[in-house]
């Protein structure tokens, strides 16, 4: 079963600060880092490192930044799903404070223009589709509809958050997004509401607390291991990508979510977005341990 990841890819510039600036204030960075990111690329690499067969569909510009993205992704997954548009490759600026919290701003010309819905004819029954909130809402909905028509499993991580939540088999949101979508501050209540509103299964990520999993058969907290976080900017993408990759490999959602939570805990101890993702060896070890311990 193949996992099709449809989203974006960009070049990230990360500024590490003692604290985030207040409105109108200039703050000097302690250090900077440049690398490849974008929720689509991040999640596709994380998924591929689970051992799943992954196809990334994303748009790049006709510029040197696109070459940087392709060079970074080469060897991680096939590149034939990357298309070139007559615009600039998307870019993100990421501010990370001394506690590892972050603010992200993205210039998304490619993502705004990209419409791969007609290219999803290759999906087959039993395949999986993973999407984020990077593309236009009408494109996201069309891709999810096309996947369902093919009998594929749909997974949605709707970040950045749009005005409405398209229907999907599995929805992965953080606690802030869950509250924004439902008006409910309690993650368990928000997950129950989201499930009633169309998503069969919900994962609400809770940062250092782990994640709340709501499935038709029940709900429970999946605690995260205690770690010292230095950069949380890539953690959500690692979690979503690892969950999708594990599902494509045939793991049940509860086990996939546990692996995702633990992989994200590794990521927050490292700097960067894509650069923070655990290796294939590390993820394989997590899958092996959690598969042996289904509790």
**Active-site annotation holds for 67:** no
Structure tokens at 155: 């997974």
- Report the run of H or E that residue 204 belongs to, with start and end: strand 201-205
Residue 233 has what pLDDT? 84
Q: How confident is the model at residue 295 (pLDDT cuts 50, 70, 90)?
A: low
Model confidence at 294, pLDDT cuts 50, 70, 90, reads low
Phi, psi dihedrals of residue 226, rounded to the nearest 5°:
-75, 125
Q: Are 272 and 42 in contact (CB under 8 A)?
A: no
- What pLDDT, in 10s, does the model give residues 118-152? 888 889 999 999 999 999 999 999 999 999 999 99
**Closest by CA position to 88, among listed 71, 65, 106, 54:** 65
Taking only the tens place, the pLDDT of each residue in 256-274 is 999 999 999 999 999 888 8
- Render pLDDT for 161-184 as a digit per residue (tens, 0 to 9): 776 788 899 999 999 999 999 999
Q: What pLDDT is stored for residue 122 in this prediction?
A: 82
Find, among 138, 144, 41, the residue nearest to 89 by Cα: 41
SS3 12: strand
This prediction has a pTM of 0.93
Q: Which helix (H) or strand (E) holds 280?
A: helix 280-292
**Considering 97, 169, 231, 237, which one is annotated as catalytic?**
237
- How confident is the model over 36-93, as pLDDT tens digits? 999 999 999 999 999 999 999 999 999 999 999 999 999 999 999 999 999 999 999 9
pLDDT of residue 209: 96
Are 128 and 244 within 8 A, CB to CB? yes
pLDDT recorded at residue 163: 62
Long-range contact pairs involving 191-195 (C-beta distance under 8 Å, separation at least 24)? 191/219, 192/219, 194/165
- As a whole number of angstroms, the distance between CA 214 and CA 189 comes to 10
Residue 44: predicted pLDDT: 98
- Where does 2-19+33-292 sit in CATH, by number? 3.40.1190.20
């Amino acid at each position: 079963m193949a996992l099709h990841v449809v989203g974006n890819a960009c070049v990230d510039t990360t500024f590490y600060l003692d604290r985030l600036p207040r409105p109108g204030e200039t703050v000097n960075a302690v250090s900077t880092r440049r690398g490849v990111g974008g929720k689509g690329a991040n999640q596709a690499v994380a998924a591929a490192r689970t051992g799943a067969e992954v196809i990334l569909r994303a748009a790049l510009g006709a510029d040197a930044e696109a070459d940087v993205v392709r060079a970074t992704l080469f060897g991680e997954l096939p590149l034939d799903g990357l298309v070139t548009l007559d615009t600039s490759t998307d870019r993100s600026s990421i501010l990370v404070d001394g506690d590892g919290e972050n603010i992200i701003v993205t210039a998304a010309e490619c993502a705004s223009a990209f419409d791969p819905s007609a290219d999803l004819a290759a999906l087959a029954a039993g395949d999986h589709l993973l999407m984020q909130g990077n593309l236009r809402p009408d494109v996201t909905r069309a891709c999810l509809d096309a996947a369902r028509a093919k009998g594929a499993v749909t997974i949605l991580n709707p970040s950045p958050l749009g005005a409405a939540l398209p229907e999907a088999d599995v929805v992965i949101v953080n606690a802030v997004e869950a509250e924004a979508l439902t008006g409910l501050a309690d993650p368990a209540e928000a997950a129950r509401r989201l499930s009633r509103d169309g998503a069969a299964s919900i994962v609400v990520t809770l940062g250092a607390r782990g994640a709340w999993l709501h499935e038709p058969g029940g709900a429970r907290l999946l605690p995260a291991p205690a770690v010292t976080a230095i950069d949380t900017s890539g953690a959500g993408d690692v979690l979503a990508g690892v969950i999708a990759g594990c599902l494509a490999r045939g793991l049940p959602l509860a086990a996939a979510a546990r692996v995702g939570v633990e992989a994200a805990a590794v990521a927050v101890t490292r700097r960067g977005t894509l650069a923070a993702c655990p290796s294939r060896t590390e993820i394989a070890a997590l899958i092996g341990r959690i598969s042996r311990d289904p509790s």
